[in-house]
Homo-oligomer: A and B are copies of this chain.
Amino acid sequence: MTTSTVEDYLKCIYQESQRSGNSLISTGQIAAGLKVAPGTATAMMKTLADSGLVSYEPYSGVRLTPEGARLATHVLRRHRVVELFLVQVMGMNWSEVHKDAELLEHDVSDRLIDRMDEMLGRPTVDPHGDPIPSARGVLKEKDYPSLLLCGLRAPLRVVRVTDQETGFLLFLEGHGIMPGNRIEVLSRDEAADSLMVRPESGKSFSLGFRAASKILVETVA
Contact = CB atoms under 8 A, between A and B. Distances in A.
Contacts of A104: 104, 107-108
Q: Please give the count of copies of this chain that the complex contains.
A: 2
A109 to B, nearest CB: 5
Interface stretch (A59-67, A83-91, A182-190): A83-91
Contact of A100 (B91, B112, B119): B112
B109 A103 contact: yes
A138 interface: no
A138 to B, nearest CB: 25
B115 A92 contact: yes
A175 interface: no
A121 B107 CA distance: 26
A106 interface: yes
A101 to B, nearest CB: 10
Contacts of A115: 90-92
Nearest to A116: B90
A90 B117 CA distance: 11
A111 B86 CA distance: 11
Interface in A69-106: 86, 89-92, 99-100, 103-104, 106
Nearest to A106: B107
Contacts of A100: 108-109, 111-112
Contacts of A109: 99-100, 103
Contact of A107 (B103, B116, B119): B103
Contacts of A92: 112, 115
A180 to B, nearest CB: 23
Nearest to A112: B100
Contacts of A89: 89
Contacts of A86: 112
Interface of A: 86, 89-92, 99-100, 103-104, 106-109, 111-112, 115-116, 119
